[in-house]
Amino acid sequence: MWKTVTIIGVGLIGGSIGLALRERKLAERVIGVGRRAASLRKAKRLGIATATTLDVEEGVSEADLVVVATPIAQIVDQVCAAAPACRPGTLITDAGSTKGTIVASLNGQLPEAIRFVGSHPLAGSEKSGPEAATADLFEGRVVVVTPSRTTRKGAAEDAADFWSALGATVFMMSPEQHDAALATTSHLPHLLASLLAGATPRADLPLTATGWQDTTRIAAGDPELWTQIFLDNKRNVLKSLARFEKTMQRAKAAIERGDAKALDRLLTEAKAIRDAVGS
Amino acid sequence: MWKTVTIIGVGLIGGSIGLALRERKLAERVIGVGRRAASLRKAKRLGIATATTLDVEEGVSEADLVVVATPIAQIVDQVCAAAPACRPGTLITDAGSTKGTIVASLNGQLPEAIRFVGSHPLAGSEKSGPEAATADLFEGRVVVVTPSRTTRKGAAEDAADFWSALGATVFMMSPEQHDAALATTSHLPHLLASLLAGATPRADLPLTATGWQDTTRIAAGDPELWTQIFLDNKRNVLKSLARFEKTMQRAKAAIERGDAKALDRLLTEAKAIRDAVGS
């Protein structure tokens, strides 16, 4: 389907893209670009890439498609470094968890002939690194592709085809819509899971069970990555947190006044929402 | 090990006790007591009990051990109904998620010759009912046994032996210590998971992924059961919630002022606590 796909950043997400492309025979060549020779050796050994290089320009020079799968703080720089070295018509996308800032920062920065559109695969794990990569990471998962007013014709559709080929279901929406929704469905859950873990005294840990374990699982994620996400999507995260605080104050008041009916109503509505998603 | 064990309430917990006793050949007879004939027929068909009855007094008349595994609002009544019909020396325990109110309410209410001690198996599931029961529910899990100043000699030790025989690790502490710790390790996580699910607009549900799913999983639990728990352990739940709110305000302030260092510190400490528990 593609002749050459270049993946910049061969961690969990980039590595899984490489494995999926190769297992599904979707690309003749998969070039892995990274900043450390050791990671690239690992990526090659794991079958993530057919060739690797530390040099971005060299890595993208023959690419039909470039996927930037670095931590979000580096995405804009990596796209800007890659674009001038690409052939005309090359499609560049990314895999960052926030989209507004990245897409806005790239606006007007790229050569005319290069097409860029933002992507966010809603797939991940509390694990990280190429060792955690799997060929089926995107199967049955959602990927959001975020065209903006300046996105070139066809770029969003081509990116959608790419993610679909890896087994994902693709939604399209603006970067702003994406960031508002993800603040609620991903960033707030992560923040709360971390705060809950952090608020548990170590002496009480032997008395945790599956409930605590499920609720705090994602608190094991990479602190640096999540700090970037919270700050990049600051306005929306604070909005979601404010909405959560309101619900929390309602529940607190219901507990304080011993209002079983109000509590039952809150929990019943929450259960209905949770049940709608399934395990 | 026991001649006759009577289980009052054959749902997830009571049913799993029955299955474990029979699979491990720990009791000659397991009597299931319930309030609905249909549940009892189901329990018998699933192999949870060797005999069943709707009549508490009949059910406990030959028991060496009685386990009350009903929702917490009914535990005190069920123990009071069972105790006068038991033979001298019978041990009664329960499986309620809160202990302070239950143990205090039973103080001085039981015949001299009957021994009672509270228990709380930290095992469960967002599922409920006898169909969800499994023989290995307690294997490797923690059970807290909560002797008070008035607990008869040997009762706590005998209850501990019982839960150990089902494969659990037993901790002993006072009912008050139990309720303070569990507010943090179990009741607060449940409340937050429910509030998080409840604060997610239905339109955003297609954009949830494994993070949201893990963090909200226990919100699928039984609203009635959890309303009882929050109100029964009100004082401790509010205390844990207040501690959580403080951490939340710190995080919120760090996001507002764009303080990457403070956020990273919060997330790193949370990760260390989460990693200490394991998956």
Q: Is A202 on the interface with B (CB under 8 A)?
A: yes
Are the Cβ atoms of B198 and A144 closer than 8 angstroms?
A: no
User: Do residue B102 and residue B129 come from a single domain?
Assistant: yes
Q: Which of A123, A142, A173 is the last residue of a domain?
A: A173
pLDDT tens-digit series, residues B130-149 = 999 999 999 999 999 999 99
Are the Cβ atoms of A223 and B251 closer than 8 angstroms?
A: no
Percent of chain A with pLDDT over 70: 100
**Closest in A189, A231, A266 to B194, CB measured:** A266
User: Do residue A105 and residue A229 come from a single domain?
Assistant: no
Q: What is the pLDDT of residue A128?
A: 83
Q: What is the pLDDT of residue A125?
A: 72
User: Do residue A35 and residue A122 come from a single domain?
Assistant: yes
Percent of chain B with pLDDT over 90: 96
Pick the closest to residue A255 from B178, B103, B183, B247 (CA basis): B183
Task: Give chain B positions within 8 Å (CB) of A123.
Answer: 209-210
Q: Is A209 on the interface with B (CB under 8 A)?
A: yes
Q: Which of B110, B138, B173 is the last residue of a domain?
A: B173
User: Do residue B185 and residue B271 come from a single domain?
Assistant: yes
Q: What is the pLDDT of residue A208?
A: 96
For the entire predicted model, the pTM comes to 0.92
* Domain total in chain B: 2
Q: Which of B173, B196, B231 is the last residue of a domain?
A: B173
pLDDT tens-digit series, residues A3-19 = 999 999 999 999 999 99
Residue at token pair 């040997």? B154
CB crowding A63-98: b at 16 or more within 10 Å, else e: bbbbbbbbbbbbbbebbebbbebbeeebbbbbbbbb
- For residue A237, give the chain B residue with the closest CA: B255
User: Do residue B140 and residue B193 come from a single domain?
Assistant: no
User: Do residue A32 and residue A156 come from a single domain?
Assistant: yes
Spatial distance between the Cα atoms of B22 and B243, rounded to a whole number of angstroms: 43
User: Do residue A132 and residue A233 come from a single domain?
Assistant: no
User: Do residue A165 and residue A182 come from a single domain?
Assistant: no
Q: Is B54 on the interface with A (CB under 8 A)?
A: no
Q: Is B253 on the interface with A (CB under 8 A)?
A: no
User: Do residue A81 and residue A166 come from a single domain?
Assistant: yes
Are the Cβ atoms of B215 and A214 closer than 8 angstroms?
A: yes
User: Do residue B131 and residue B208 come from a single domain?
Assistant: no
Are the Cβ atoms of A211 and B190 closer than 8 angstroms?
A: yes
CA A132 to centroid of chain Cα atoms: 15
DSSP string, A236-272: HHHHHHHHHHHHHHHHHHHHHTT-HHHHHHHHHHHHH
Q: Is B230 on the interface with A (CB under 8 A)?
A: yes
Q: B176, B190, B212: best mutation site toward chain A, by most A Cβ within 10 Å?
A: B212
Q: Parallel, antiparallel, or unpaired: how do β-strands B169-172 and B142-146 relate?
A: parallel
Q: Is B223 on the interface with A (CB under 8 A)?
A: yes
Task: Give chain B positions within 8 Å (CB) of A260.
Answer: 227-228, 231
**Closest in B125, B270, B277 to A194, CB measured:** B270
Pick the closest to residue B166 from B10, B1, B49 (CA basis): B1
Q: In the predicted model, what is the mean pLDDT of residues A246-265?
A: 98
**Closest in A184, A218, A226 to B215, CB measured:** A218
Structure ipTM: 0.92
User: Do residue A168 and residue A201 come from a single domain?
Assistant: no
A101: CATH: 3.40.50.720
Q: What is the pLDDT of residue A3?
A: 97
User: Do residue B63 and residue B148 come from a single domain?
Assistant: yes
* Structural domain span for residue B190: 178-277
pLDDT tens-digit series, residues B92-106 = 999 999 999 999 999
A185: CATH: 1.10.3660.10
pLDDT tens-digit series, residues A46-94 = 999 999 999 999 999 999 999 999 999 999 999 999 999 999 999 999 9
